[in-house]
Structure 1
Amino acid sequence: MTFAESPAGNIGWLERRADEISHMLQCPVTIEDAEHRVLAYSMHSGSTDAIRIATIMSRRVPEHVIRSFHEGGVIRRLQKEEGPQRIEANEEIGLGSRVAIAVRSGKRVIGYIWAAETDQPLSESDMEKLRRAAGSIAGELQRQTESRWRSDLSQDMFLSRLVEGYFATEAEIRHQSGCLKRPLPEYYRIVAVDFNLDASAVWPLLNQAGGVIEEETGLYSLAHAAVGERVLFLAGDAKMLSSPGEWKASLEHLADRLARAFPDVQATVGAGGLTAREYSLAPRSYAEALKVIGIRRRFPRASVQELVYEELGYRHYLPAVAETIEAEAIVNSHVRLLREYDREHQADLTHTLSVLLDCDCGVREAAERLHIHPNTLGYRMVRMNEISGINLKSMSDKVAAFLYLQSGG
């Protein structure tokens, strides 16, 4: 079979090519870009597996499958080897056997063709046909990659300038937002994802992170960009329907999905305050998002779940508390005495105090978190008072010890 190069701008050409390749190989075929987003798939009527169905429905390979491919060396093999590669079935993730090949523009991988071996394994002759098919679609994939890159660049430039305060007026912001091809919502916040990497290492992650962000159903994402060491996105709420709890749940879900998508990178999410209409205030929302990230990184124990600026609470003051403690060499006498006792007797009273204060001295809740009986905790509270003199009925004693522990003292 002879493959023709795609004419520029021929809508539907890639879909037709997927059907042609499928007919030639007698198996279902999917064509993806380099970030595993579905560009085209065949209408093959034979049997197929759950992973292909899920991929087509979501227009992207499921994250757990991508992670399995990375961990199993499948992606590395496809990027290294130029010919078709057979991928064995994996019942654990619901994947049938596949043959895949990377589509290249020069030495750069710009996409993949996946052929599902539903009826019988592909022959050597089929492998050669698949190799030629990959070459035939390279031009079209390159055109689509460049088109998406230009669109992403426009979004990136707009969002970068927005958070840097580049625009002089609201009218200018509204005019320049045309690159988003979607209206700016009345309520928005800037969300940042810090990967704890150098800026040069963040750019390669932008498209994949953007794909995860765009697929988060709880967030209305308008644009994403790489700014310095972080990926940012503008999250909106068209009618302020989302409650603080819903924002928090969506961001926690996003943080979990990013952790699974980038298992080798520590991604920290932070969201600025919700802002109404005035996009000239985006730099403030960005600064707030960075403050959340800074606090979460510096005081991880104190801010495990706090992703939104409005919910930082007392954590706003932790940097100042920590600086004062360091500058004045402050030592909380109650905590010092408990730590000395713990070291000498292999005890754990300092941790007990920390958990108890986290629970606002609620004995039942603290006992559950410590996995001990409330009576045992009661005994420990008496011992803490005897050893250190701390009065757990004194607001002054409790606040002093709490802030000292939370700020890393």
Structure 2
Amino acid sequence: MALTEDVELRTLLSTIGSPLARLLTAGGGSVPVRTSAVIEAEELRSRSLPEADVLLLIGVRIEGLVELLALVPAGSVLFVKLASENLDAIATAQQRRVHLVRVHPDAGWDQLAGIVQRVLARTAPLDTGRGDDAEDLFTLAESVAAQVRGLVSIEGPGGEVLAYSRAVAGADELRISSILGRRGPAAQMRRLSDEGVLTALAREDTVLYVPATADGLRQERLAVGIHDAGEFLGTLWVQRGPTDFAPDARELLPGAARIAVRGLRGRPGGPGQEERLVRGGLGLGAHGVEPSVTDRYALASMLDPHPGEFLAVIGFAAESAGGLGDQDAAALTGYLRLSASSHRRRIVVGTHRGRLYAVVTGTDPDRLTEWTENAVSSLRARLTAELRAGIAEAEGGLPTLAEARLSVDHLLDTVARDPARFPTVVTRSGLRSDVLLGEVTGWLAARPDLRDPRLTALRAHDAEHDGSLVPSVRVYLDAFSDVRHAAERLGIHPNTLRYRLTRAQQISGLDLADAATRLMLALLLRLPEPTGSGATE
């Protein structure tokens, strides 16, 4: 199976994880691999091997392994079942430059071969947080595990394990046996059947709670059936690990099941494609390059707005100046996908310059705002950064997504200038005046020739005498010239404020009784303060 990009051996082994496979020889982690094949000893002896980077050698006893290693092509990756580590085999493999991987003796070859092929079929590295390649069930399993705090496995309708998260701490017998290639211990499977769990999962897509057994062989679980158009496609299981499930785990799992449908159906997607389409649709692509008709159609197909639905752009920004880091962006993406899908919203996501943008479908602006507020609240425990969010509807549908994104950026920029004034989530309709004011002051900031020397003189006096005349004037203007209210905000006596205002007018020549002067000052005082002694207003 050919690839557009190589997968490194360390990525393959990390995804397969314990207890299935472990590299015994040194220095092979960065080896690129593209293809795999199941082989028998006779194929090695007759030199009739298929062309493959990864060889899964079946039906071999430990005593015959050293002899066969001498026949393995140098640079190959060889998977073989070993009950224990054999030093002679390891030394021979090392000498022959064969990357020897020990497979758990209880593992099923069919299971392992299928997993290896699915991992090698990926064209992008595994991202444990984003879950943004719909076809990659392993990435989805990792994403769900990170968000709901459990050990995840995705099974087909016959109980065969298709993908799983890598963590092994706290794994019970049922999970380990399933990953190793069996359908699970017979007694455990009978118990699940007798309890009605398997039947319920095959019939409906509600989240089930499966309690732990008294013998400790089965830990508590959450499970949801994966269904599409009335067809049962499989099950998503989450075993409780060393910590409790996330408080909103039950709310996120239906969304995970809906995303899994895309992977099980083999529908196209992929993080690289989606990121490119979203950036293009939001006007964040290469300068001067418009999205092609094909790209516009692809983005429309991914969102597929139904009659009565609107599209909205939600921008997420960190309160810190550095923007969202990669780890927080990945966790945010993974959570938004699960939560949106659980609420039956279609969503696409892209990042740009430290901000994350989501294009979502909705039917009620107030409910969309509430959903965003709940998401930001839930994410506080998952991210290192404090989030702010801005929402703008694309009032003309897909063609106006770029315009809506610009509005979102204006919202977030406005909030960043004075975050204490605004709620965590803001909307274009609720902040229209602030955005317009931000546009005006942004234009003024780009015109350094439009400054008043009287304000420059007042700033210079404050700097020389460690004064507070300029801040006093600004608070006074923001309080609509209400001295008592302004003094209260400054924590001083009203007479003290009156004295400061008088001194400010005497020093600068400004007339605070003049309406035009007050308006001019209100705008100029919202600009960033000039730096350096030679700065001019």
TM-score range, shorter chain: 0.5 to 0.7
| Residues 187/54 of structure 1: CA separation in 2 closer, same or farther (3 Å cut) | same
Equivalent position to 2:395, from 266, 270, 276: 276
Contact residue 210 and residue 224 of structure 1 kept, 8 A = no
Report % sequence identity. Answer: 15
Equivalent position to 1:9, from 135, 138, 156: 156
Q: Which runs of 5+ in 2 are unaligned?
A: 1-104, 115-154, 165-172, 176-183, 190-211, 224-234, 254-259, 284-289, 530-537
Equivalent position to 1:380, from 476, 500, 506: 500
Name the residue aligned to 2:209.
none
Name the residue aligned to 2:80.
none
CA displacement 1:285-321 (0-9 Å, x = unmatched): 2233334445556x45798669444521211112210
Cα offset, 1:401, TM superposition: 1.6
Name the residue aligned to 2:219.
28
Contact residue 158 and residue 177 of structure 1 kept, 8 A = no
Cα offset, 1:365, TM superposition: 4.0
| Residues 368/235 of structure 1: CA separation in 2 closer, same or farther (3 Å cut) | farther
Q: Which has the higher contact order (CA 8 A, sep 6+)?
A: 1
Distance 2:491 2:157 in 1: 65
Query: Structure 2: which amino acid aligns with 1:289?
Result: V
Are 2:484 and 1:361 aligned? Answer: no
Q: CA RMSD in A?
A: 5.0
Name the residue aligned to 2:356.
231
Contact residue 331 and residue 383 of structure 2 kept, 8 A = no
Distance 1:216 1:378 in 2: 54
Contact residue 255 and residue 267 of structure 1 kept, 8 A = yes
CA displacement 1:61-116 (0-9 Å, x = unmatched): xxxxxxxxxxxxxxxxxxxxxxxxxxxxxxxxxxxxxxxxxxxxxxxxxxxxxxxx
Distance 1:234 1:366 in 2: 42
Are 2:438 and 1:315 aligned? Answer: yes
Cα offset, 1:324, TM superposition: 1.0
| Residues 207/251 of structure 1: CA separation in 2 closer, same or farther (3 Å cut) | same
Distance 1:269 1:344 in 2: 40
Name the residue aligned to 1:222.
346
Distance 1:293 1:188 in 2: 19
Query: Structure 1: which amino acid aligns with 2:506?
Result: E
Distance 2:501 2:158 in 1: 72
Q: Which runs of 5+ in 1 are unaligned?
A: 33-37, 61-142
Distance 1:321 1:399 in 2: 13
Cα offset, 1:222, TM superposition: 2.6
Cα offset, 1:258, TM superposition: 5.5
CA displacement 1:216-239 (0-9 Å, x = unmatched): 89x98532322443422113431x
Contact residue 312 and residue 361 of structure 2 kept, 8 A = yes
Contact residue 345 and residue 360 of structure 2 kept, 8 A = yes
> Paired residues, what number?
303
Query: How does 1:298-309 map onto structure 2 within 5 Å?
Result: 299=417, 307-309=426-428
Equivalent position to 1:342, from 462, 475, 479: 462
TM-score by length of structure 2 reads: 0.44
Contact residue 155 and residue 180 of structure 1 kept, 8 A = no
Query: How does 1:72-87 map onto structure 2 within 5 Å?
Result: none
| Residues 335/355 of structure 1: CA separation in 2 closer, same or farther (3 Å cut) | same
Contact residue 281 and residue 299 of structure 2 kept, 8 A = no
Are 2:256 and 1:41 aligned? Answer: no
SS at match of 2:349: strand
SS at match of 1:372: coil
Name the residue aligned to 1:402.
522
Are 2:277 and 1:163 aligned? Answer: no
Query: How does 1:188-337 map onto structure 2 within 5 Å?
Result: 188-194=311-317, 202=326, 205-214=328-337, 215=339, 222-229=346-353, 230-238=355-363, 240-242=364-366, 247=369, 261-263=382-384, 269-272=389-392, 274-294=393-413, 299=417, 307-310=426-429, 311=432, 312-325=435-448, 328=449, 330-337=450-457
Distance 2:441 2:344 in 1: 31
Are 2:247 and 1:54 aligned? Answer: yes
Distance 1:408 1:43 in 2: 51
Query: Structure 1: which amino acid aligns with 2:383?
Result: F
| Residues 395/198 of structure 1: CA separation in 2 closer, same or farther (3 Å cut) | closer
Cα offset, 1:178, TM superposition: 3.7
Distance 2:452 2:420 in 1: 18
Name the residue aligned to 1:73.
none
Contact residue 187 and residue 236 of structure 1 kept, 8 A = yes
SS at match of 2:346: strand
Contact residue 224 and residue 231 of structure 1 kept, 8 A = no
Contact residue 315 and residue 357 of structure 2 kept, 8 A = yes
Name the residue aligned to 2:309.
186
Cα offset, 1:187, TM superposition: 2.7
Equivalent position to 1:390, from 504, 510, 514: 510
Contact residue 282 and residue 405 of structure 2 kept, 8 A = yes
Contact residue 347 and residue 361 of structure 2 kept, 8 A = no
Distance 2:517 2:445 in 1: 18
Distance 1:145 1:187 in 2: 23
* Higher percent of residues as helix: 1
Contact residue 193 and residue 231 of structure 1 kept, 8 A = yes
Query: Structure 2: which amino acid aligns with 1:352?
Result: S
Contact residue 186 and residue 277 of structure 1 kept, 8 A = no
| Residues 146/251 of structure 1: CA separation in 2 closer, same or farther (3 Å cut) | closer
Contact residue 194 and residue 268 of structure 1 kept, 8 A = yes
Distance 1:375 1:13 in 2: 80
| Residues 358/324 of structure 1: CA separation in 2 closer, same or farther (3 Å cut) | same
